[in-house]
A and B are shown apart, each in its own frame.
Chain A
Amino acid sequence: MTDAVVDIRGLNKSFGSLHVLRGIDLTVSTGDVVCVIGPSGSGKSTLLRCVNLLEQPESGTVLVGGVDLTDRDCDIDAARRHIGMVFQQFNLFPHLTVLQNCTVAQVTVAKRSTSEATRIARENLVRVGLEDKVDEYPAKLSGGQQQRVAIARALSMDPNLMLFDEPTSALDPELVGEVLSVMRQLASEGMTMLVVTHEMAFAREVADRVIFMDAGAIVEEGRPAEVLGSPTEARTREFLHRVLEPTKLSTDEFLGDRAAPAGGPAMELPKIDPHGLTP
């Protein structure tokens, strides 16, 4: 067995006539943090959801920990127990307390005793800094707290791999930091992580590898300094330009041809002041 936690070969996935993943190859080694970036609709979330088979791939193989999940006789429930997943919308169980959210799968699936499950859940809630919220219901928590519970819930199953599907996209800006700090700590402890994100600063700082996806394919991948610092592909550059410097976008970049009629001088457009400072 290699040390690749995730080994994806020739992965294809379509939704109806929409071909969202076009022959993806991807490996994630033990202890690696891989961030997947790209415009919405590029297939990055679908790719992540294929890693624990929440989406059924059409062709290709998905090996996690050496087990082929696309094998039809694979025990997918057993495999998923070692793959933690964190969702954009948290998906905490609203009818269970914070502690029960973290113990329910341990007791029902991992067959741990209630006392052991509780001990493990509490340890993980301490890790995410929520030991004082164990008896609250999710509705009482802020978005950032809910997402940290979701991380603790996944960690309580002792995963070998953690999948993050835009974990901070549904959060108020001031709550993003607390979730990212938990993820950074997790990365420093050596957790293997595959993270779909729009947080470029996080990717630059924490990721071992950054993957840029567009139109269902991996366009560029490498060290964060390379992909984010000096991308070789034009599409990567354009994406980063839009994401990192949204206020510097000039109108003809997104208005395209309409802004500059052929043969004539550029159409007179009202000057847009991104800071709204013009009196």
Chain B
Amino acid sequence: MTTTTTTTRRLSPRQRAQRLRWAQYALLVVAAALAIWLADWPAIYKAFLRPDLILAAVTGGLFSALWMTISYTAGAFVLGLVAGTVVALMRLSPVGPYRWIASAYIEFFRGLPAILVFIAFSLIAIPFPGLQMPWEPYGTVWLALGLVATAYMAETIRAGIQAVPKGQVEAARSLGMPAMVASRKIVLPQAFRIVLPPLTNELILLVKDSSLVFVVGVSLTHFDLTKWGRAMANSEANLTPLVVAGFAYLLITLPLSTLVRRMEHSAEKAH
């Protein structure tokens, strides 16, 4: 007993770390074995991964839904990028009221759940019966999603603008560039380079938020991935279509997050 204690005490830090790592691996193996042994695999397989339903999903509207999700997201992203830049510039404006309006906008739309905005748009025909959005249903979705995206992107872009060193503006102004030209030619190009990774992250968030389309109610041909997966899962009484929809989301988001990592990596190298 005494000998064991002394040997334990005499373990070097490296040996102790090694033992801990072995213990962690052992735990993992035990947990995996338990999962394999205890789980009802055929039931899981039948509930989530029925091959016939995977095939039916892929041939029955998956790509249309994928395309809708991409369309909704892309439109909202473009809107958010343009309006977000404007709001960011307003936020940094020397004119007080512009700053206040921009701050109020950002705080308002960042502070409420996006679904609330979608609900508001779904009900907008009640107070304004004649109101007709252009390019329905895209118009409503782009606007609802874009309004929220604008708030987030404005804050990101503002941070990017402020991250451009002051000397850049001074150099531009000392060459005789008016403030607007200096912003457009010198500050904004550098700011967008800085915010490219966080903006791509926001694009990933938008891809997922586009699933809120279900709130405004669109026709079958305009179903996005979530709405489509849910409808099919309901009619088939099986979760496989939802799993397919989930993987379809990953088809969009995984390349994007790889892209972000690459950009961050190359940004590190550039400095």
Q: Which residues of A line the B interface, CB within 8 A?
A: 52, 54, 77-81, 83-85, 87, 89, 91-95, 104-105, 108-110, 139, 150, 153-154, 157
Contact = CB atoms under 8 A, between A and B. Distances in A.
A109 B177 CA distance: 6
B35 interface: no
A95 B189 contact: yes
B76 to A, nearest CB: 27
Given A105-B175, A105-B177, 17 more contacts: A52-B174, A80-B173, A80-B174, A84-B174, A92-B171, A95-B189, A95-B193, A104-B175, A104-B186, A105-B176, A109-B176, A109-B177, A109-B181, A139-B270, A139-B271, A154-B174, A157-B175
A219 to B, nearest CB: 28
B160 to A, nearest CB: 13
A70 to B, nearest CB: 16
A95 B168 CA distance: 11
Contacts of B16: none
Interface of B: 165, 167-168, 170-178, 181, 185-186, 189-190, 193, 270-271
B174 A54 contact: yes
Contacts of B170: 54, 87, 91
Given A87-B167, A89-B167, A108-B181, A94 B175 contact: no
B185 A104 contact: yes
Contacts of A93: 168, 171-172, 186, 190
Contact of B167 (A52, A78, A79, A91): A91
The 4 closest A-B pairs by CB, nearest first: A81-B176, A105-B175, A91-B171, A91-B167
Contacts of B168: 91, 93
7 contacts: A80-B174, A81-B176, A85-B171, A93-B186, A104-B185, A105-B175, A109-B177
Nearest to A82: B176
B237 to A, nearest CB: 56
A108 B185 contact: yes
A121 B107 CA distance: 46
Nearest to A163: B174
A78 B186 contact: no
Contact of B174 (A78, A85, A108): A85
A195 to B, nearest CB: 15
Nearest to B175: A105
A109 B175 contact: yes
Contacts of A104: 175, 185-186
Contacts of B178: 77, 109
A95 B175 contact: no
A77 B177 CA distance: 6
Q: Which of B165, B167, B185 has the most CB atoms of chain A within a 10 A radius of its CB?
A: B185
Nearest to A49: B170
Contacts of B165: 91
A95 B178 CA distance: 19
A94 B167 CA distance: 12
Contacts of B171: 85, 87, 91-93, 150
A87 B270 CA distance: 22
